[in-house]
Chains A and B, each alone.
Chain A
Amino acid sequence: MSRHPAMGRLLDRDRPLSFTFDGKSYRGYQGDTLASALMANNIRVLGRSFKYHRPRGIFGAGSEDPSALVQLRTAGRTEPNIRATQVELYDGLVAHSQNNWPSLDWDLGAVLGLASKFLPAGFYYKTFMWPAKFWPHYERLIRNMAGMGRSAETPDPDRYEKRHAHCDVLVIGGGPTGRAAALAAAKDGSDVWLVDENAHIEELDGVTVMARTTAFGKYDDSLYGLLERTGDHLAAPKDDAPRQILWLLRAGRMILASGAIERPLLFANNDRPGIMLAGAAARFLADYGVCPGKRAVIVTNNDSAYAVAQTLIDGGIDIAAIIDQRHLTTRREIAGCEILHNHGVIDTAGRRGLTRVTVAPLDVNGDAVPQSERLLDCDLLCVAGGFTPSVHLYSQAGGKLTFRDDIQTMVPHGEVGGITVVGAANGELDGGVGEPLNLSLGRAKQFIDLQNDVTAADVELAAREGYQSVEHLKRYTTLGMGTDQGKTSNLNGIAVLAGALDKPQADVGITTYRAPYTPVTIGALAGREVGTFLTPTRRTPLQEWHEDNGAVFVPAGLWRRPHYYPRPGETMADAVNREVLAVRQNVAIVDVSTLGRIDLHGGDVAEFLNRVYINGFKTLDIGMCRYGVMLRDDGMIFDDGTVARMGDGHYIMTTTTANAGPVMAHLEYYLQVVWPDLDVHLTSITDQWSVVAVAGPQSRALLESLDSDMEFANQALPFMAWRAGQIGGITAQVFRISFSGELAYEIAVPADHGHALWEMLLAAGEDLGIIPYGTEALTTLRTEKGHFVMGPEADGRASADDMGLGGMLSAKKDFIGKRSLRLPALEPEGRPNLVGLIPKDGKTAIPPGAIMVDRETPGPGMEKAGHVATSVFSASLGKPIATAMVTNGRQRHGETLWAHSPVDGRVVPVEVTDPVFIDPKGERLRA
């Protein structure tokens, strides 16, 4: 095909470009789309269709195109299912055809087309449902057959941004209607934005005009999603520019001037390359100067085709005939052009692109008159079936549509707050009003949805099988479910369904329009929130030290805590065992700054604590700490921690790391909503303090060697007491509390001094052999000691009594969750209890998460006794141990159960024990 010498208003013929398609080089011009450039190079077949692998070409000229889909770019930038009609050509562009194997010209899947009578609507549902266990195999096969493009397998090198903005008026659509609306709206000084998906939109005075920007979605409270393609028209974005910008725009009002999309007509084999929307053919000629064919037939049911015919004639295309389906009293004429009134196209031919159409006169019923066919040679068939208003964003906002018989299409009906629909989108279809769709032209496949290969016969079959609601029809046949979202097919599908049901189209309705209008890349939705920016990382004041000293990290909420500190050559197990033994036998330190700290002030804090913890707090003296457990109102454990009384009406509470935020919100809820009369003020102070736990039999010796005004002797600072003072000149609070079960202290200093304290402790403890330890050693230590934690043991289904803490439940006061303890479900009999486990052979690791049953070989009648919660190797005991939640477990110590791993299939016989493996009398921590 050739370029017309004068036409092509968007082309810059002084700037030739080169590009490749399926590995072959071609030439185009600046201003081309990939579609127009391929057309200018005589490429008619762009890919194979989804289901039948039929050759498909360019059908539309813009975002409505259902079939000209390509794989664009390469490596990390590659994207599948990109409409060639919307790709602006750049020098060096690389594109590939999709959905063909081994090649576009010789496609094995096309054999399916020959077997197509075996692939009716719902074929996969009907065929692959039985036997059900084979579904995974079927699914893989179907995915291979049906897959279109391929996703990138390497990271996208480009940057995507998100921006938030407000405006008074958003105008969607840069055509004459939208431009007039924008200018009018801007007259009073309003902040007006005009967006259009196309590249070439002229500036307007007083209006923010955004080209290459698609308004893809309308969301709650006047929020609009806009995708600005800042770098898609270039080989790669310029240095400082993102590839795309996702705008989240709140607009006071929206004016929808999105125009209308041309409707195809139905006839046999209406999908061949060379068949395209009439308006698209005219646009290729006028905008890009490319002739979509040499000899054209135009088929229409409305007046719009005659202007197209004139454009084609001006472009030098030979018009074989204009086929007008209508019974007109006044016949149209165009010089030198045969016009066949009361005729229809009933079939087409051409294996790899159109070569001939069959036309026939129509009788009064619209049926082709038998034995009166005429064959017309042509390589272009323009179809003009009227227009469908683009009401997507109005409909997304909840706007109702009504079918207007006079223009044979759906139009907005009624008000949606803040939205005005204007021009063609509102049904003002000047000259483009089609007659009712003729459904009886030809016996072979009449394609409705070119992207998903849905035919009129599929819709009729679905209706016969009972899928008579449009929503059911859509899901059963996949009509309109492709990346084009049925822009050219939905209305024709409804017309066919109405015909099959013998109902007026108005009564059939239409499927809900959903965002996005055109596909939005995941990259744009993710923006900068990728990799380490996916969520913020909270860093303790010691994070840098941990990083510099070889810590292996583990996520804990938004924190990354040191998991363990391996030395050269050490495995994880080596390092953890060394760290555990240092605590049990010597001294070691751990960064516990991540625990939540909440400061409570006010006259009623003791009363408040009494209500939120299961145990009493009114007797807590200044200078002392107390362990407490919180429940939810349903009686299940919510969190645990310690509270230190700092002074009159002043307490500091600690929470678990992961629950710091939820506990704060929980306390605020009860203070603001349930007990607003209480005088309590809460402040989160987690970030203000750096806290280091010093644990091990040598920890007192270590503290006593420091320059401090505090006394650390047992009488001066007994278990569960705290003191304030200074250490090495740093203001410090020292709490004698222990998680490991050893003699231990938690030292809190202002955050900025945390690093100094840490270094001071390491230096002072050098002779004692001090080392840092991580959360894995912490887990082992607390498991040895029989302490539960939130998550593995207290998983939201465990009561205080389940954990063996029934004795803490105060009978003297009410507290959150107490009422639930009287519910039948909380009766102790039959509840899961925290127990310890040791392997019967004393050496086999107990699989974490394993299900505990009463026999080695699972079988009918077996009891599910519980599950394994935490499994560790106890370096202190020299064998694996675990915690588990076991039904009536406290009465089952000594019993043998089998831990069955559902993951790796291992079965380990275990003995149920008391959960406290180390120092059950607590002599070490009180030493």
Chain B
Amino acid sequence: MILITCPHCGPRQESEFTYGGDGANARPAAPEDVDDAAWIDYLHLRDNHKGPHDELWQHVQGCRRWLQVRRDVVTHQVISCHVLSADIADLADSADMVEGER
């Protein structure tokens, strides 16, 4: 049970969050303009890193914010966690890159 330090709520148990997929997989800004290969890559193809990995998590039982979590998938250590949102950029800046406990 890893601890994720939510920028809004502080260190919380993994069970308060749901995993939301690969955080490095950005949705094309204009889907109609990308070719089939690029769209399929976005839909289905994921890198499988050994080591630090960017992930999306939602704090569903807390602030309900979607978070970008950088986590080492070998040791499970959470390296950083920040808010994925521009409209609360000021808050995100101050709470950005909250270091994991260790």
Contact = CB atoms under 8 A, between A and B. Distances in A.
Given A668-B58, A669-B58, A823 B40 contact: yes
A250 B2 CA distance: 11
Given A220-B1, A669-B58, A669-B66, A676 B76 contact: no
Interface residues of B, number: 31
B39 A819 contact: yes
B1 A820 contact: no
Contact of B65 (A248, A672, A674, A823): A672
B64 interface: yes
Given A220-B2, A819-B31, A669 B36 contact: no
A248 B13 CA distance: 11
B36 A823 contact: yes
B84 A221 contact: no
Contacts of B102: 221, 417-418
Contacts of A824: 36
Nearest to B40: A823
Contacts of B34: 819
A599 interface: no
Contacts, number: 67
B1 A219 contact: yes
A637 B95 CA distance: 37
Given A818-B32, A820-B39, A668 B64 contact: yes
B92 to A, nearest CB: 11
A356 B17 CA distance: 63
A141 interface: no
A822 B60 contact: no
Contacts of B101: 221-222
Contact of A220 (B43, B76, B85): B76
A454 to B, nearest CB: 32
A221 B18 CA distance: 18
A722 B86 CA distance: 36
A814 B31 contact: yes
Contact of B75 (A398, A661, A674, A818): A398
Interface string B24-50: 000110011010100110111000000
A673 B31 CA distance: 15
A191 interface: no
B84 A672 contact: yes
Contacts of B66: 668-669, 672-673
Contact size range, A: 20 to 34
Nearest to B83: A672
Interface in B40-82: 40, 42-44, 56, 58, 60, 64-66, 75-76, 78
B45 to A, nearest CB: 12
A223 interface: yes
Given A676-B85, A676-B87, A820-B43, A221 B1 contact: yes
A221 B79 CA distance: 12
B97 interface: no
Given A672-B65, A673-B66, A221 B3 contact: yes
Contact of A819 (B18, B32, B65, B75): B32
A827 interface: no
Interface in A466-481: none
Interface string B1-32: 11100000000000000101000000110011
Nearest to B31: A819
A661 B101 CA distance: 30
A669 B60 CA distance: 11
A677 B64 contact: no
A687 B87 CA distance: 28
B43 A665 contact: no
A658 to B, nearest CB: 16
- Say what secondary structure dominates the interface of chain A: mixed
A91 interface: no
A83 B93 CA distance: 57
Contacts of B40: 823
B36 A674 contact: no
Contacts of A248: 1
B54 to A, nearest CB: 13
A820 B38 CA distance: 11
A677 B36 contact: no
B18 A665 contact: yes
A377 interface: no
Nearest to B20: A669
A222 B60 CA distance: 23
Interface in A657-680: 661, 665, 668-669, 672-674, 676-677
Contacts of A417: 102
Contacts of A373: none
A822 B35 CA distance: 10
A814 B31 CA distance: 8
Contacts of B86: 676-677
Contacts of A818: 31-32
Given A665-B18, A814-B32, A672 B43 contact: no
Contacts of B44: 634
Nearest to B75: A398
A219 B1 CA distance: 7
B32 A673 contact: no
B93 to A, nearest CB: 14
Interface in A823-850: 823-824
A672 B58 CA distance: 11
Contacts of B3: 220-221, 250
B39 to A, nearest CB: 5
A168 interface: no
Interface in A135-184: none
A633 interface: yes
A476 to B, nearest CB: 27
Interface in A403-424: 417-418
Contacts of A814: 31-32
Contacts of A677: 86-87
A616 B18 CA distance: 31
A668 B67 CA distance: 12
Interface in A509-556: none
B52 to A, nearest CB: 16
Contact of A665 (B32, B60, B76, B84): B60
A820 B64 CA distance: 28
Contacts of B75: 398
B27 A633 contact: yes
Given A398-B75, A668-B64, A676-B86, A823 B39 contact: yes
B36 A822 contact: yes
A818 B34 CA distance: 12
B28 to A, nearest CB: 8
Contact of A221 (B2, B32, B42): B2
Given A818-B32, A823-B40, A223 B58 contact: no
* Best-buried of A222, A223, A672 by chain B (most CB within 10 Å): A672
* Best-buried of A417, A668, A819 by chain B (most CB within 10 Å): A819
A223 B1 contact: yes
B34 to A, nearest CB: 7
Contacts of B64: 668
B64 to A, nearest CB: 6
A674 B75 CA distance: 30
A220 B2 CA distance: 5
A220 B77 CA distance: 8
Given A819-B34, A823-B39, A665 B87 contact: no
Contacts of B43: 633-634, 820
Interface in A47-82: none
10 contacts: A633-B27, A633-B31, A633-B42, A665-B60, A668-B66, A673-B56, A673-B84, A677-B86, A822-B36, A823-B36
Nearest 3 A-B pairs (CB), nearest first? A819-B31, A676-B86, A221-B3
Interface of B: 1-3, 18, 20, 27-28, 31-32, 34, 36, 39-40, 42-44, 56, 58, 60, 64-66, 75-76, 78, 84-87, 101-102
Given A219-B1, A672-B65, 12 more contacts: A220-B3, A220-B76, A221-B76, A222-B101, A417-B102, A633-B27, A633-B31, A665-B58, A668-B58, A672-B84, A676-B86, A819-B32
